Amino acid sequence: MGIVRRESIKMTIAAYAGAALGYVNKILLFTNFLTSEQLGLVNIATNISVVYAQISALGMISGLLRFFPFFHEKEKKHHGVIFWLGIIIMVGFLITSACFIAFRGAVMHYFGENSPLLIDYYYYIIPLALAALYFNFLDAYLRSLLKTVVATVLNEFVNRLMVTACVSLYAFKLVDFHQFVILYIICNCLLTIFLLGYVVYLKQLFITPGKSLRFRRFFKMIMVYSFFTILSILGASIINNVDSLMIASKLSLSQAGIYTTIIYVATVMVFPYRSLQKIAMPLIARYWKERDMNAMEVLYKKSALINMITGGILFLGLWLNIDSIFKFMPAEFSQAKYAFLYLALGKYFDLATGLNGHITITSKKYKYDLWFTLLLVILTVIMNLVFIPIYGMTGASIAAMISLVLYNLLRLWFVQYNFKMQPYTLDCLWVLLITLAVWGIVYLIPNFHNKFVDIGVKSTVIVVLYGGAVLLFKLSEDVNQLVYSFTKMKFFAPHKES
């Protein structure tokens, strides 16, 4: 767990530095200087570009992460795998773009009545998707090389810093909204260029096919694996984005703007997990190659425990302060209070199930993950069609929560049944009990009139009670080791070196 802990700590620091900027952008600047319709356009266009990029990748990004250990020889230019996969995803992008342009009429019919602004900026999604596609590809390559920090800093911090600059220009009326959108796209393109420059700096950019026959031998396996994983990943992406897209279609772009902002607030909970999984997935691929099931199970259990600890304290901090958080935004955003609760509960359950999806999708039984995902795509669409007309955005969040719970229950059962691994220990139960106890105690604290005082008091109580209990009972050696490494206080030292 050492390399995972070191790299995930670095990336989590970068992620939360970016989260602070993201909070300024999404909660303070975007909500107060953009209309909810304009905010909906930016968020929905970004969500569509993510799905667009995933389709264009044709599963090659997952294929790279899964099979790179078999090609990893710098002196042989990694047997040309980067060149060939880069060519394949470009072909995928061209095909996807042709379809995207051809189906504009159908999209206009679906979104035109309630979200006409999205149709006006339809073609602007194409460069956004291209930037996302190659950023993800280069990020996966660097993750395979266990070089994860720079991409995280670019995506989580530099990206948001540039967006802060863009929205500030708009706030001071130095650019109009159309120019803001163009600048937003340019910023995303620059991130990919910066990451490409880092690959060049590492002397790892090999854009020639090479003379090795290894890629030819693995080509069929990569293509079959990628075909199934792209369907699985695309299905998961639909599950994550269909709610906001259906809100834009069935309700309005303004409602979608509010909803996607609340999704961002809830997403803060998963930042540590994102950092963990970026380094964990290449390691899991290596464990499969080396058939080291013991190491994989240790990683599985530790990831679930750490996710429950970090997810628990972040859930408490967000939910118990949600009324004060809404005071930083226009009043219309407070209608999403319970939408946030259901989204946050769904994300907590997702965190608490650890790396089940990564274990499944990198195993020889990866095809089963596709069928789980397709089943849940159908279920998610049906639930949104039922709940959104009745409960609005709260209905969409209920559907999202149910989907995440069912999806992860299936994966938990599958990993347990096929690989005889489950992620839980008695310490996980203690973490859950501490979370519920602190929730009950802080809930009894009356609200303060001043939002800063209210957030400060409640957050302090949460950190002292929750953090104190986790450290006192030494529930996670990794957490105690981290605190001990900063404080050098023997009281916080873990029972044994991790």
Whether residue 140 has pLDDT greater than 60 = yes
Instruction: Report yes or no: 8 and 226 within 8 Å, Cβ to Cβ.
Output: no
Question: Is the whole model's pTM more than 0.85, yes or no?
Answer: no
Per-residue pLDDT, 341: 95
Instruction: Report yes or no: 408 and 345 within 8 Å, Cβ to Cβ.
Output: no
Per-residue pLDDT, 486: 67
6-10, 44-48, 176-180, 260-264: least confidently modelled range = 6-10
Per-residue pLDDT, 442: 94
Confidence of residue 454 (pLDDT cuts 50, 70, 90): very high
Whether residue 188 has pLDDT greater than 50 = yes
pLDDT digits (tens, 9 = 90+) for 192-235: 999 888 888 887 776 766 666 666 777 777 777 777 777 777 77
Structure tokens at 206: 């090999």
pLDDT digits (tens, 9 = 90+) for 249-305: 888 888 888 998 898 888 888 877 776 776 777 778 778 878 888 888 888 898 889
